[in-house]
Structure 1
Amino acid sequence: MKRWRTVLVVLGVVLALLVAAEFGIRALVQSQARQAIAGADLDLEQPTLTLDGGSLVFALARGRFVDVSGTASSAVVPFEEHEVTVRALSFQAGDIRLVGLNAAVIGDLRLSGTLDYAGLSELAGLPVTQGRAGRVLVTYTVDVLGLHDLQIGISAVPVLNLASQQVELEQSRIEVAGIDLTEGISQQIISRVVKPISLAVDDRVRVTSITVADDGLVVGLTATDVAVRR
């Protein structure tokens, strides 16, 4: 009986130490992880970070890390040849693997944030502003009816093509022209100038959703194997 009592006491002490270690390590690691996540390849600014459930001690013993979630004021996303800032981000990171003492790889990173109209204009190579009723307004410079460099505003519903990673401008119509245009000429102009806007990043980052908002497009992104350095 005494042996079992001794065993139980020892187990109790071990469990107490493990719990104390868990809380102590979490406090330390959460502070360091917040600094490390700011050094991720996506240049997260002013990140907040919360360690999600699961034992951190056991995860670290397996060379892993618990899932994390948080926010960031912005992140720089390399859309094709343009590095564009996405703002007001929230993110969830999972499948985090430790690489040595000072680095890790986030296997699955999911983000949501706002690509403002200035950034969208940079990607389109054209002025893009908010339209009405879930539409965007794109300004084109065209030559038509003997007039040169005529500014024409075409509104459209932006729709994400997941396969091509492009924003297609559907239900396009001319809303600002400065001159009277027949329906036929309007359609000719639309067919000639309206092109998709590429949101392609690279093989590791993909756009999964877009929604029109007052200050830009709210975009959902997923990224894989994102390097994090301490």
Structure 2
Amino acid sequence: VREGGKTDNNTNNKDTVHLHLRLDHQVQFGDHVVLLGSTKELGSWKTNVPLNWTQNGWVRDFHFKGGDHLQFKFIIVNQDGTLLWEAGDNRVLNLPATGTFQTVATWNTTHQILELLPFNEQQQQHSYDHDSNNLGDNNHDKEAVTASPPPPPSEAGSSPFVGEWQGKSISFMQSNEHQSHEAQRTWDTSGLQGLPLKLVQGDQSARNWWRKVPLCYL
């Protein structure tokens, strides 16, 4: 396995098995998935090996020595750092002498027999590009912060309107408060006469909107 989760392009070496491993499972936002196993590529039961998040689950590509006998388990690393191991016995996978394969596992089914399916060059390149984008220069021998699933809509942030609102909280005025505000107004009727003057005087004396309606018919 190359640095940053990348795999070597030369998959035609004798006694080499390229394996694309996918865990068909999703976790809460902020959590991520690692695995720990028996071989050096799987952390030698000492160093967690991070997987990359995709919409189809958590993935990683490996190169193993042909004929290797693998034992491993998936682990969910919660946002607070606590670990959730798969229940049951270790997963077991016996590799052939050579070839390029993919396999899919489901969470907590450690008794599952992992089926090795052909993995063609186009799929391999797509996986290689995806790993490059997700991990960058992270070292696989150190547990790195991996890509996390996108937050659910409720956690994706408040609306721009709510975030930008700077006004005071809404309050409803009582009728006497309206009258108080009306009384504080200054009514300048200088220069008015006839119908305009009657409209202003009517508006001044009408304390409620429904009392102002008849003014429209003057």
Task: State whether TM-score is above 0.5.
Answer: no
Higher relative contact order (Cα pairs below 8 Å, separated by 6+ residues): 2
Larger Rg over CA atoms: 2
TM range (shorter): under 0.3
Specify which structure has the higher proportion of strand: 1
TM-score normalised by the chain length of structure 1: 0.21
